[in-house]
Structure 1
Amino acid sequence: MPNINSEDSTKKHESTLDPNNIFTTKKPKLCSTNPQVALENKLLDSRFTKSFNELFLDQTCLKTKNICLNSSDFLVTETEDFNQNSSTKAQENLTQLAKIISSPFKVGFLYNVFSATYLKELKTELAALEWKHRSNDLYDFYQTNDLSSISNNASKINLLYTYLKSDAFISYLESLSGTNLLRNRIDMAAQQYKKGGYLLCHDDAVSGQKIRRKIAYIIYLVEEDWKIEDGGSLGLFSKDQNNQPTSVSTTSLPIFNTIAFFITGESSYHEVQEVLRIDGESRWSITGWFYEQLSESCVKNDPEFIDAFDKIYNIVSEPAPITSYYSTRNVIQESNQNNSLVEFFVNDDYLKITNKSKIQDAFLENSSIELKSFLKPRIYNQLIHELCMCDNWREKWNSICEMPPTVRKYYLLNMDNLNHSSEHKIMNLNKSTDIDDFIKDGVTLSVINFFKSKEFAELLSDLTSLELLKVSSETRMLTAGSYTLAHDKVNEPEGLDVIFSFMPNKSVDNNNKSDNNTWDPIMWDGTTHYIADKDELLTLEPDHNTISIVYRTDETKRFIKCIKSEAKFSRFEFSMVFLE
């Protein structure tokens, strides 16, 4: 186990250790007038700050480093994973002071920072404050107002705020991180992540005209017995060649009385993973940012990259001209085939003239409508058998989710794994076509092609009075943890959203009991939301055999709320955008 300073060496039981590497008992200069909120002396010693700074700024080191004290108060580094509950011979005589995660980006952790008694009293004060439920496309947690404006009665909170924004503490943080921070300007608020709470992938990079966030910090106030099974870990994302996040490569468990911090604006993509704790205890923390002054040389967002973002990742599929189902298959369309095709797939109730008129009136009034039991039962049941119920259904979907996680996380259907043998049968459809003979070879590809066809677009025109010329589409599987975000780099064209929702008819629970599947939007989320600015316009809940038709303007964005781990099964959809 090497010393931090490789040139220092000692012998066991030797009393004359190198003074440059031994902690002194001299009181450090950085000390609060109230000892409850002062950092522990061992974290303030100049030898510790120097060692931490060297490791934090070392871009060649890709391993996690732990800074510890041994039984002789000698500063050492430990490169193996350090388990605070471990009693292994390698760690039994060590006291962990700090940890630095080096990859995918630098994150520093300081352990046993404050008096535990003080933090528990602080938590009691926080519990008495007003907490607001914050929930949107990116997160779901409870939060206080900014703690800088708390009344003087909250003495523990005010002590912490005053201490963190002091010149002494900011100078200390600069000595650890090698940054140049703004004085007397910090943000500080408290969060509770209850069971099911989360914060999805983001980088915390926010800039104004003169200042920007530089260091994000987290003070963990979780229960002291918090463990990995309770969730709520800090997840750190690796990046691709475009400096965009790909997937979580490192996680860190929240530990009571720990400060974590990292530099923002350097592609520091991270998340708070879903909290899974079942005893009602929340994941408590205090978080915020330290700031830096902007200079004219600071790098601005590249507008060309922002414009190209959706093309690089194919976020918005290029719409294609709508053509007849038959024309793309080199078949001469007969005059009655259009009606036969629609009648073969669609519930007869939606083809009656009087019903079409009522649907159109409702759509024109509300700009949206939902149609239940849209496909005929035999077609629908075979579809869900193929895509979400048969023995090998999972093999039909891509194993890697769509990227980047700052925009979306779901799985697309692998079109190469579909059965094409039923396609020829649909060319000669008529009212006497044997549906049993048709579906035995598979219906998935035929249903997908029908939804993109001129014949289906003409039915939509009857229901909406819109003349539709182009369409883009995706077939999606959304599992626990799947979502889409209303991202500012993604601009969907104004158009008619058509979403066909489906899911397995039955699921089997842990007791091998089979239940009819009903989506639980309150417990599982996974709902689709339409918003304009801060106003919620419409919410769509997943359902069986349901098609939702929504006219979306340029000012309207949409997202799918992240599906929670409690969801008993996945949800699926054909997602289409028709353009006039």
Structure 2
Amino acid sequence: MENLQRELMELNFHEKSNDLYKFKQSDDLKKITEPHISGLRSALFGRFRSWLGDVLQVELEPVVDISCAKYEYTDVLLCHDDELEGRRVAFILYLVPPWQRSDGGTLDLYTTDSNFHPQSIVKSLVPSLNTLILFEVSPVSFHQVSEVLTRDKCRLSLSGWFHGPSMERPPRHRGPPVPRSPHLPRDETLLLEWVNPVYLDISYQEQIQEEFEDSSEIQLKDFLKEEKFREVKEALRLTPIQWTKRGPSNKRCYEAASMNTLPQCVSACWELLCSESFFLLLSNFTGLRLHYLCPADDDDENKEEEKKDVRDAEATGSLTESANASREKAAREEYALDLVLPFCGADWQSEFGGFTCYVAKEEDEELLTVYPEDNSLALVYRDKETLKFVKHVNHKSLSDSANRAFYDFSFVYYE
């Protein structure tokens, strides 16, 4: 074990980070010639594979799939099922120092509901030196590596999959669409009460629209009046709001506020973002037709005809706390406007997580990253091929006992 650990620690490791995970991983070990790594590889995928196939009564293929992972402080692997064509059995061999549950980094196994969605953690396994974990890869094999909380230990492991004929998978269940709402009938007095006056200046709105049309995104700093922002921020922190966890955990993990438990000032801020006057303001910022009074691209004759048969723009929204690695599908419509208004603390840092990443469908490269900033309204226009996620908020945000909390108003607007 000591020689194996030494050989593994001398490998080159690559930082891996996306919506699902953050850790360091070696290259594939199937061609590594170091004696202890190659010896273990031969044992696992030779006689051990044959024995395992006999136990499971499955013909396992001689495919070598093995790598080494290092999880250090705040590293994590969120809930997933490992299913990929040909994967049949997952394995993990731990090469860790003495490890406690308080160190984090547990392997958490989930129950599933009738729709084969992960429901709750049913077992939590603490890593232990020279322990081999095996589990069958199936439609219900949801698991995660919880965030590593220790600063001075490395969670080193070898892991991979034995391959064989794929199991039949039931059709994936699609949940109900997120409900949408038309704007609330509120006039411009709401804007005058809440919004920084600079953003209500028509000439400045024209500058914003010009910049937005060039880049399809913008961040408007100090958007709310300072006293209004402070009032909402304090209310979020001090009021006993009821929060409900949103899942399933393989798709999203955050807490949403129960609307009837919001203090008055938070409800008023919510109404602002849903109001008819705010839809018009957003239209002026972006050039999008979010309200029928907004100018259209057609000529004046067609405009009048359109007004007779118009459907008001709609929005979906949520107020969220502890946004952990939320993976959200883009709207079924061709385009949508995302809005995020964070309440995260003036000293929020990118290493804490909580930033929003946009990626092209089927691509790994990030198109845009929006970092949260107190009272900075972020607007992003995206098409249905662009996906977004909020990066897992980790324990570094609590590291200096600042008792930071991460809240945001999150809306999607449609033309």
**TM-score, normalising length: structure 1:** 0.64
Match of 2:327 in 1: 485
Superimposed CA distance per residue, residues 414-471 of structure 1 (whole angstroms, 9 cap, x where no aligned partner):
112235xxxxxxxxxxxxxxxxxxxxxx322121112011100100000100001111
Q: Say which of 110, 120, 139 aligns to 1:237.
A: 110
Give the CA deviation at 1:198: 0.8
Q: Say which of 70, 75, 84 aligns to 1:192.
A: 70
Q: Say which of 210, 222, 239 aligns to 2:96.
A: 222
Q: Does 1:502 align with 2:343?
A: yes
Superimposed CA distance per residue, residues 481-521 of structure 1 (whole angstroms, 9 cap, x where no aligned partner):
x330256xx756430001111136xxxxxxxxxxxx41121
Superimposed CA distance per residue, residues 344-366 of structure 1 (whole angstroms, 9 cap, x where no aligned partner):
11000111122111111111111
Q: Give % identity.
A: 30
Match of 2:307 in 1: none
Match of 2:274 in 1: 452
* Residue identity opposite 1:562 in structure 2: H
How far apart, in 2, do the equivalents of 1:143 and 1:418 lie? 44
1:204-283 alignment runs, 5 A limit: 204-207=82-85, 212-223=86-97, 225-279=98-152, 281-283=153-155
CA RMSD between the two structures? 1.8
Match of 1:174 in 2: 53
Give the CA deviation at 1:407: 0.9
Contact 2:116 2:139 in 1 (8 A): no
Q: Say which of 339, 344, 351 aligns to 2:193.
A: 344
Q: Does 1:321 align with 2:152?
A: no
* Residue identity opposite 2:185 in structure 1: S
Q: Say which of 235, 243, 248 aligns to 1:404.
A: 248
Match of 2:304 in 1: none
Contact 1:402 1:411 in 2 (8 A): yes
Q: Say which of 155, 160, 173 aligns to 1:288.
A: 160
Superimposed CA distance per residue, residues 14-34 of structure 1 (whole angstroms, 9 cap, x where no aligned partner):
xxxxxxxxxxxxxxxxxxxxx
Q: Say which of 328, 349, 353 aligns to 1:520.
A: 349
* Residue identity opposite 2:94 in structure 1: Y
* Residue identity opposite 1:190 in structure 2: C
Match of 1:43 in 2: none
Superimposed CA distance per residue, residues 366-422 of structure 1 (whole angstroms, 9 cap, x where no aligned partner):
11000111111222121112222x2xx2x3132x41110011111111112235xxx
Match of 1:573 in 2: 408
How far apart, in 1, do the equivalents of 2:107 and 2:257 lie? 30
Q: Does 1:144 align with 2:35?
A: no
| Greater RCO, 1 or 2 (C-alpha within 8 Å, sep 6+) | 2
Give the CA deviation at 1:574: 0.9
How far apart, in 1, do the equivalents of 2:66 and 2:328 lie? 26
Q: Say which of 41, 51, 57 aligns to 1:161.
A: 41
How far apart, in 2, do the equivalents of 1:563 and 1:501 lie? 13
Following TM superposition, the consecutive aligned residue runs of length 4 or more in structure 1 with deviations greater than 3 angstroms are 490-493
Match of 2:308 in 1: none
The structure with the greater share of residues assigned to strand is: 2
* Residue identity opposite 1:171 in structure 2: S
Contact 1:126 1:190 in 2 (8 A): yes
How far apart, in 1, do the equivalents of 2:145 and 2:179 lie? 33
- Name the stretch that deviates more: 260-269 or 240-249: 240-249
The 3-state SS of whatever aligns with 2:379 is strand
Q: Say which of 357, 368, 375 aligns to 1:538.
A: 368
Match of 1:386 in 2: 235
Give the CA deviation at 1:250: 1.4
Superimposed CA distance per residue, residues 257-312 of structure 1 (whole angstroms, 9 cap, x where no aligned partner):
11000111140111001112222x31000000011124xxx52441xx44xx231x
How far apart, in 1, do the equivalents of 2:358 and 2:61 lie? 41
The 3-state SS of whatever aligns with 2:205 is helix
* Residue identity opposite 1:204 in structure 2: D
Gaps of 5+ in 1: 1-118, 326-337, 420-441, 505-516
Q: Does 1:310 align with 2:175?
A: yes
Gaps of 5+ in 2: 291-312, 399-403
How far apart, in 2, do the equivalents of 1:575 and 1:174 lie? 49
1:26-37 alignment runs, 5 A limit: none
Give the CA deviation at 1:121: 0.9
Q: Does 1:125 align with 2:4?
A: no
Contact 1:542 1:571 in 2 (8 A): no
**TM-score, normalising length: structure 2:** 0.88
Q: Mark the CA change 1:416 to 1:339 in structure 2 (over 3 Å): closer, same or farther.
A: closer
* Residue identity opposite 1:538 in structure 2: L
Q: Does 1:353 align with 2:205?
A: no
Contact 1:370 1:549 in 2 (8 A): yes
Contact 1:396 1:417 in 2 (8 A): yes
Contact 1:232 1:274 in 2 (8 A): yes
Give the CA deviation at 1:147: 0.5
How far apart, in 2, do the equivalents of 1:491 and 1:201 lie? 23
Give the CA deviation at 1:566: 2.4
* Residue identity opposite 1:310 in structure 2: G
Contact 1:170 1:181 in 2 (8 A): no
How far apart, in 2, do the equivalents of 1:240 and 1:300 lie? 15
Give the CA deviation at 1:135: 0.5
Superimposed CA distance per residue, residues 71-125 of structure 1 (whole angstroms, 9 cap, x where no aligned partner):
xxxxxxxxxxxxxxxxxxxxxxxxxxxxxxxxxxxxxxxxxxxxxxxx2111211
- Name the stretch that deviates more: 556-565 or 493-502: 493-502
Give the CA deviation at 1:247: 2.2
Contact 1:198 1:273 in 2 (8 A): yes
How far apart, in 1, do the equivalents of 2:67 and 2:252 lie? 28
Superimposed CA distance per residue, residues 314-360 of structure 1 (whole angstroms, 9 cap, x where no aligned partner):
xx5222223422xxxxxxxxxxxx33221111000111122111111
Task: State the number of aligned residues.
Answer: 385
* Residue identity opposite 1:519 in structure 2: W
